[in-house]
Structure 1
Amino acid sequence: MHVSFNTICGDRGLVTWPDGGLRTNVTDLGRFFGAIIGGGQFQGTRILQEETVKTMLTPQFAQGQVMEVVEEDESQQQAITWVYRTLSDGSTVTGHSGGDPGVITHAYYFPGTGAGAILLVNTSSDSETLGLAVRDMIRALLIRARNEQV
């Protein structure tokens, strides 16, 4: 993992493990993501109760009532772990993003169709350029997933 170009991030134990700390790969995250999209079920196997998924995906705050430490704008609503974001074309995606030194993650889907995308990047940086590039990449992947869905 790289913190910035040519700077390798050493092995890390997560001191902030209660706020995340999920260690996974794209395949396994995709299966879990599929279970969320499927109301708790993936490929015929129930992983979470349907009511649990509904609770996780229910917005928890009225607009303007999100905690002060959480950035909020009119294009998003916060559920438990999941966020709803309105894209520039007016469509809404549900998902989660995160990161730690050396890692950037995004996983979003369109609630009406289930089309989505997962992006795991093994670098991080305070660079606005990298942040914008990753944002543009996940948006492009989402649009492609939506357009390719039959």
Structure 2
Amino acid sequence: MNRYSVFLLLGANLGEREAMLVKATQLISERIAPVTAQSHLYETAPWGVIDQPAFLNQVIKIETTLSPEEVLAQTLDIEKQLGRERRLRWGARVIDIDMLYFDNVVLETEYLHLPHPRLHQRRFTLVPLAEIAPDFIHPVLHKTNQQLLSECTDESQVSVCE
């Protein structure tokens, strides 16, 4: 059975943000696959809709035998279990789990786009991603995460939490 490296971005900007990221990581480990790497926590400015509280973000890596669709179904279920309500695109949320990469899979369906179509445009994604996987090569852009970060024009504030 094949094992796939999957990078997930966790984010929260409502309620107990850090506790929510810890709980999401725990549920991902239990229901999808153990976490094999995780970045520091980063406090980040909101993106898209800027009139909302700052986010805490973190990138985790898992090694799974599940398919991309199965991972998506599980992450959506975990978001729902943790109280996520989808109201406004890019709006405030108690938890957000985005699949950034699923190994080197390139996939575009109605519900899933891999790699994540905007990851190279967002510092809040690239900073923690480059921390744990600087040399991972984007399967479409053919650049490392570190290169994508150095070329990113997003000037949003991203600060490591001590």
Same fold (TM over 0.5): no
Shorter-chain TM band: under 0.3
Q: Which has the greater radius of gyration?
A: 1
Q: TM-score, normalised to structure 2's length?
A: 0.22
Query: Looking at both structures, which has the greater relative contact order when contacts are Cα pairs under 8 Å and sequence separation is at least 6?
Result: 2
